[in-house]
Amino acid sequence: MPNLEILDLRRNLVQGHIPPEISNLINLRILRLAFNQLSGSVPSVIYNISSLHMISLTSNSLSGSLPEDICRHLPNLEAFYLTLNEFSGQIPSSIDECRCLQILTLNFNRFSGSIPRSIGNLTRLKVLYLDGNNLEG
């Protein structure tokens, strides 16, 4: 499926881990895995799919932290939905490298530490949800 641009599996009963082979979908623009029963950490190779415009992982049981260089290979990312999971650690200060980001929902996770000032550099950002975490200042 090298030409696949949209993978929408939301609202199913998909269980287990996200397979790293998803990174073979090099033309993927939209990845929707929300409202399933996925667990474990997100394979870092997903953050290397430079064609992605949307990542929606809302309402699963995904955990782990976001890599500091999360945006390095996501120049086209416009929407990043992580609401209602178990992500922890700090929000990467390099988040502003996702220059096209318009929607960022990180609410109802376990993020901690300070809100990175770099979020203020996201000039296209229209929606930002950070509620329901353990963030400071």
Q: What is the pLDDT, as a whole number, of residue 2?
A: 82
Provide the residue-wise pLDDT of the chain in tens; the chain has 137 residues: 889 999 999 999 999 999 999 999 999 999 999 999 999 999 999 999 999 999 999 999 999 999 999 999 999 999 999 999 999 999 999 999 999 999 999 999 999 999 999 999 999 999 999 999 999 97
Residue 16 amino acid letter? G
What was the pLDDT predicted at 137? 77
pLDDT at 37: 98
Instruction: Please tell me the predicted confidence (pLDDT) of residue 100.
Output: 98
Q: Where are the beta strands (DSSP E) in 6-131?
A: 6-8, 15-16, 30-32, 37-41, 54-56, 61-64, 79-81, 86-89, 103-105, 110-114, 127-129
In whole angstroms, give the CA distance from residue 99 to residue 95: 8
Q: Assign residue 135 a region: left if phi > 0, alpha if psi is -120 to 50, beta otherwise?
A: beta
Judged by DSSP in three states, 94 sits in helix
- The residue ranges of every structural domain in the chain are 6-136
CATH superfamily of 6-136: Ribonuclease Inhibitor (3.80.10.10)
What are the φ/ψ torsions at residue 18 (nearest 5 degrees)?
-75, 125
Pairwise CA distance, residues 86 & 62, whole Å: 6
Q: Are 95 and 119 in contact (CB under 8 A)?
A: yes
